[in-house]
A and B are shown apart, each in its own frame.
Chain A
Amino acid sequence: MRILAIETSCDETACAVYDPGVGLLAHALFSQIDLHAEYGGVVPELASRDHVRRLLPLVRKVLRESDTPRPDAVAYTAGPGLAGALLVGASTGQALAWGWGVPAVAVHHMEGHLLAPMLESPAPDYPFMALLVSGGHTQLVEVAAPGRYRLLGESLDDAAGEAFDKTAKLLGLGYPGGPAVAQLAQQGRDGVFRFPRPMTDRPGLDFSFSGLKTAVLHAVKSHADDAQTRADIALAFEQAVVETLAIKCRRALEQSGLRRLVVAGGVSANRRLREQLAQLDADLFYPRLEFCTDNAAMIAVAGALRLQAGERAGPQIAVRARWPLAEL
């Protein structure tokens, strides 16, 4: 059983071919980062336009690389994400499936992220705790079994990755901000600045990162604008985010009694976060670096699960820009 997977929810166009019995056979991705960099963030209309240009050439590439003349199913990301961008993958994916005479299945982008570690060896056993931390999401999810998710906490405002992007902008760095801030932080001096660890002083597993951005703004405005100061601020910011995430993870593990932690999403590539989480009393599972960010391999894994459960999409082409994980 070979599944062609398509991901177009934001600013990466991605395709993969996956066989649940064999593993990942091919994957390819086109990142639009350069396209959006000069605007300081993703421009939805430009993203949609680029997906239309990139998608089929990527489909052709992964089918050729995996020697797949016709897949047995097509999985595509149906949400959450940018509606116009999602529609490119949904309409093309459904028409491909119908043209081939094979089933199509709609996949929840975050379920893809949750299941991305299943592509690795060893893969985590169920149940496990998952921290999803990206530019669009910061969530703690308890995964009892395949398809059984319980949202334990999430960001009430900015996602952690978004806070990195905004802080990067305040520090005069480029987009995306995560790697840029982390790199600058390496030159920072410990203890020069200290920012709050939002919402760690009260019970619960929700996050809030918008106040942190304000604290950074204040620090930038009220101190000398030199390279060292910016590095010091970057370090203090990164420490605050990382420690906040780690505190909530520890709390989630303690409350649930779980000993396995899956960490996925773009921010999970952050080295300082990985160091901090390594100190937790839990087995840690990360997708390989290239599958921490958006990709189609994870959509194929989630698609396989949904197909197995008998789910089918179409012929109506529908996407959900907002789609709570709890509604799965």
Chain B
Amino acid sequence: MRLLAIDTATEACSAALLVDGAVSERHEVAPRRHGELILPMVQTLLAEAQLHAADLDGVVLGRGPGAFTGLRIGCGVVQGLAFAADLPVAPVSTLAALAQGGWRETGCERIAAAIDARMGEVYLAHFRVEAGLVVIEGEERVVAPDQVELPTDGWCGCGTGWAAADGAMATRNRDRLITVLPQALPRARDLLPLGEAQLKAGLGVVAEAALPVYVRNEVAWKKAT
């Protein structure tokens, strides 16, 4: 399979290309520079592989949660590219990409992925590993870090949420954590196996259905009258 993957939902601007099992990646920690970087990254990856957009079998979108503006830039790029080249899209959770990376680096099979959501909250989801792919347990949510309690022992805490509020989550769950990767950011390369599985299962969607998942939906306040 030939897949392009993009994640721009965090401080990381990340793009990766899968060509018949070989992965290439462009990854830069560059807050607020996603617009400047993402298309050149994608173009470079494809040019290096001597491929055109139409040669791809699909696109994998890191569909959030994360920072709204960056997320929408990646979503716009994926939507536009998939529409123009008539490609299916596999929308994959940015938290799942983060967890997949946590498993790749540590081998730990219980991953609590958390992204700093600012405003005193984190985006959080728990994952287990099955056949080399992370699988979510429960739901993605946005919570205050000092309210998070891991259900069992043996976890890897992965992502910037574990550094939020001076590491409040890590302190509270000290006994249940094997390791913590508080600087980990989602990488597009970790979207690839998850997206590939989705597409192979026939779960790809058309471009206009590849939408962000924000998780935080309280974004406007009605005026008190």
Contact = CB atoms under 8 A, between A and B. Distances in A.
A95 B220 CA distance: 29
Given A88-B72, A314-B39, A318-B35, A95 B223 contact: no
A52 B35 contact: no
Nearest to A99: B84
B219 to A, nearest CB: 4
Interface string B41-57: 00100000000110000
B222 A92 contact: no
Most A CB within 10 A of own CB, among B53, B68, B77, B78: B77
Given A49-B214, A317-B38, A318-B35, A96 B68 contact: no
Given A87-B35, A316-B40, A95 B81 contact: yes
A56 B79 CA distance: 8
A99 B208 contact: no
Interface in A59-105: 59-60, 70, 83-84, 87-101
Interface residues of B, number: 33
Contact of A98 (B53, B72, B222): B53
B80 A94 contact: yes
Interface stretch (A26-34, A40-48, A124-132, A183-191): A40-48
Interface residues of A, number: 39
B154 interface: no
A33 B64 CA distance: 27
Contacts of B74: 91
Interface string B116-153: 00000000000000000000000000000000000000
Nearest to B37: A316
A99 B76 contact: no
A87 B79 CA distance: 13
B88 interface: no
A257 interface: no
B83 A52 contact: no
B35 A43 contact: no
A99 B80 CA distance: 7
22 contacts: A38-B222, A45-B68, A46-B220, A49-B219, A52-B76, A52-B211, A52-B212, A84-B72, A87-B76, A90-B35, A90-B76, A91-B35, A91-B74, A91-B76, A94-B80, A95-B76, A96-B81, A97-B84, A99-B53, A100-B84, A316-B35, A317-B38
Interface of A: 38-40, 43, 45-46, 48-49, 52-53, 55-57, 59-60, 70, 83-84, 87-101, 314-319
